[in-house]
Structure 1
Amino acid sequence: MSYLFKGKLCGYLCVDCSEPLSDIIVRLYRHQPNQNVTRLAVANPKDTLAVLDAETLRGKEGSLLAEGRTDAQGAFAIEISERGYEGEAFEVDIYCGTVPHRKVGRRVAEPRQATITTIQPIWGRTDGGFVAGWNYCIPYRFWCYFRSLFDAWVICGHVTQCQTKGAIANVKVTAFDTDWIQDDDLGSAFTDASGHFRIDYTHEDFEKTPFPFISFELSGPDLYFHVEDSGGTVLLQEPSSRGRDRDRENSGPCFCVDLCVDVNPTPPFNNPLFTHVGDFDISGDISSTNGLTNKMVLGHGGPNYGFTGDLKLKGFCPKTSPVGSPDPMQYRFLYTTPTVLTQQPITGGMLTPVVVGTRLIQWDVFGTGLAYTFQDLYIQGSGATPDPTPTPVLPPGTPWGAPPPHIIVPDADGWIAVDQNGLDSGFYGPLLRFVSASVVTGGVAPGNGAGLALTTPEGGMSISIFFEAGPIGQPATFTNNLPNIFINNWTQVSELDLTEFHTVGATACSEITNSLDILYTADHELMASWGLGISSAATIPLPLPVYPSGSAPRGGIGTFHIDVSLWPSCSYLIGLTTRKSLTDGETDDSGATSQLTFCK
């Protein structure tokens, strides 16, 4: 029986700044006979963190259970298939050839391994074995010390407006080290949409002197900062002496700082952003708790609606970067599920075509000569078209008709390049159309027979959707996400039958005389409404039956009896109408009706 241990690791750089432990090896070890496993398993990880020396590593070599590498988000999934493992506690180590974001310098850093803690996983059984999860963020005191072993130094900061405390985006922050002979430029970075910035540097960046092979730096740098806008206007110019103050002098490998400037923040008109699923705003219309909508928008949806089908993911991505150099931009969407913890790109067969913009091209629509003509820009999973669009080979004077759309296909990692010839300043509105059934499967929900409870009622699933944007070929500079969206792609169960059709000698063509017993099943986890009804060309005598109906999740199941002895001879139609609380963001489920006829 296999065991799958999944999780995500990060490290704090200070109280409010962390980084994923990307591209490191996570190692799981059996415990040694002389170790108190119970005491270690209940200990706080901050008390068990330790950098391992060579002798300790040699002593653990024979105890390795399994290992795996983390992805860019620090997520890992390690299968323990070693015979003899039966779910007991194990020790979790990390092995690092380097650390995230380390700036390459002259110094060569040796690989290091550290023990984090002992884990007694809570294993859950699945069809394929057992699964357990564990997420942990290493405290900054240990993680910053560990980074320093690789000569990795970092400054995390936040720039705000001094009076309002609002975030200042797209400003350049430069860090300096105060020295007796010359100040050292440690590096620069632009703030993101939330005003945050990060500068990575090494020891050699602040031990520079005008004299080769001589260093006057005996400890950490003495920091001060300059801030300027994208046009070069100085917004903050701290004096060099600021680096001699106690809160800036001899700064450690991780330093966090809050800076403020006396300017009003520029509205982030050109910042890329994921904003809507269909017509539903991801920040206010979709509950972060259960992923359901919390209100009606533009006449569709309502409280506690889930999503289904092909979803338009809307937002904005400019043609060129609003931060730093105006390089061409790209964007992508990714997702995670409760069982897929590593972010996966939405690409290929997970897309269906959607119009994202328009551009002008020279085209002979009517056979009267070239003229500027609008051409739609599509995003879809396959079928990319050449750019520029090839012109038809036709005799002069022959109309070309409307130009075909220019089709843009995401690459294997989901990146979509914004068309630099598109109208306006970028793609605004639908950015792609996500086939949700490619992640949250569905189909025709199986019933168990009319009037009978379902053996395995089908349900949907909550997923998270992530948006990233940045200059082509460079790391993403803008990100935001929808933490929870509930998707259900199953049909409702809607079944009808009559008990009278199943008595001895009866068929579906048998005439009903006195009693009518309707067997019905209406089931869906997001049932908006359901109800039985009977119609006929004949007049049904009073009092009319009070037919069962409801508006609660999972619907209703049962048998409804009617005395039809006084009903006129005629044909009758029984209907079971159901409607789900599901929307694709623009169109709601319109409902369905199952029907059954009988004669009296």
Structure 2
Amino acid sequence: MNYIIKGNLVAYLCRDRDCSEYLSQVKVRIYLPENETNIEAVSSAEIKDTFREVTEDEINAKHRRLVAETETEVNGAFSVEIDEKYSRSALEIDFYCGSVPQPPLPPKKGKARQFHITTFAPQWEITGEQQEYTADFSYIIPDKWWCLIKGQYFDVWTICGKLTDCKTGKPLAGIKVIAMDADFITDDELGSNTTDSNGHFKIYYTSADFKKTFLSPVINVETDVLPPFASGPDVYFHIEYEGQRFALETKDDRRNNVGYCLCVKLCSKELIPVDPSIPPSFTHFGITQRIPIEAGIDLATGKTTDKYAFFSSVNLVGTISKQINTKPMEYLFEYQEVADPSDALNPVGWSPVEPNMIDKTIIGYLWTYVGGPNPIQYEPYYINGTGTEKTVTFNGNWIKVPQDPKFAAHVDAEILKLNTEKLTGVLSIDMSMPTSGIGSSTISAARPHASNRYFAIRMKQREDGEPDTEAIAGTSKPIAIFNVLYQNVNKHGSWAPATVNDQRIALSVDLEEIISGSSGCSKITTDLHVKYGARNENLDNVSLSITGPHKPGQSFGFNPIIPMPSPETYGTTQLVFTPPTDTVADLLPCAYTVSISATALLTTGDGNLSSYHDLVSFCKI
């Protein structure tokens, strides 16, 4: 007959049942009691009288009385079979622990220790088809013991709590709760966790998280205002939603010198955005690609380190704050054009970016606590907003940062969207020409060469209306900008001739044999000469391909196009066959399409210029 003890080990972090955790992957050891033990007395004793740490000597001495051992599962459950000969005896239950929970990190490991829980007199019941005898043993370790074990032996400190709506008492789900330690020198962030559907959260940290100083890691102490320094942190809370941090409490609300476990009930009634700790600054081009304004630009070319020039609207990325030195902040951007990107900048050569050079830009949000299932709402604040949208005001060319208490300014995000076409203007080049010109150079007096232009960009900040407080907050290397549009670009050759406008790349393809015919429907017999042309100062890749049937064992295509020096590439080419003895005359009688594609290395910092295409079709007889 099988005798199985099924159990579960749980520990409280607070007296609140919601603040508990499973004893997962700990060893459960079952012993026979010593002969002289008063079984009735120890079985009925309270936890405070039975729970204790077992010394190494005691573990060694008890080993001869060990009758079974197992390990708990992730949920603290265990099942262990004992020999039938021990089924009528009371049993001692211990657990052997070498780690404790520390989410989101792996369990904190330390010296393994054993703890005696109690003496247990199994009450056997017959269960299941196999007629097994089972006895249940479920145990909850009180918070004072478990918190002491975790903190004193493994240096794992825990905050367990619940976040609710102050007005309704309903739980707030999906909100990040951040525990802060108030220090004399600098406040430390202890840890964070997101509330579950019931508003519950747990935060785990170690003493290293609150013993940081400006000398860390050389010197770590808990820095209270006056000595002697207390051993525990002084805790208050922030919350975060959609990436924005709010002061749920201030350091004046701190709980002083908290112990290994802290249990809290928090509620939210208003949102006070926390100002960023980093100073106002301009740091990158583009939210997506995040190109550093100095390290990301090649001084020799003005292009990005991966060889891209800029075009169109570019997000200038950085940080702004509501105030500087307790005064409202305002900022502006300036630009300076240079002939060559390696030229030295002129200290007095800067011009302001004017409001009409700025595309609509979100620079932060107004945050409002509304309660309910989606407790926090936010409204964007724009530069050059329209209609009823919240929009900033200008002081000349200076942008005034909104001062609404509920406004949170952008941190490491877009702070101005610069329309580079307003800096360079847009140069339109008329590409009108007969299709016979395809395959030849397009540069002429009527269609002049257009080069990249180079502009350095910088940010300045100051206290509202105070020129004496102006300071530079980031200057870029000169960047290459190319805003050229090609008009009346030939498409579809002589087959179905058309022209298109506003092209970033002038790209055309045609067939010499069709050009020489009386219409675009000339048929191909023995010769096929493909003429092509592609133009852009930052031209990258140009490729030809052909679509159509082939004979068994036959293949055909074009040799790679070798680009000429900027700004264009052009020429005439023919098909290359396998086997090499085949010619155009060996193509199957059918319709074929020759396609050309081209790319140019142009970026906004958030996206690159898409590829351009053209095609021409023909019939082989």
Relative to the length of structure 1, the TM-score reads 0.42
Relative to the length of structure 2, the TM-score reads 0.40
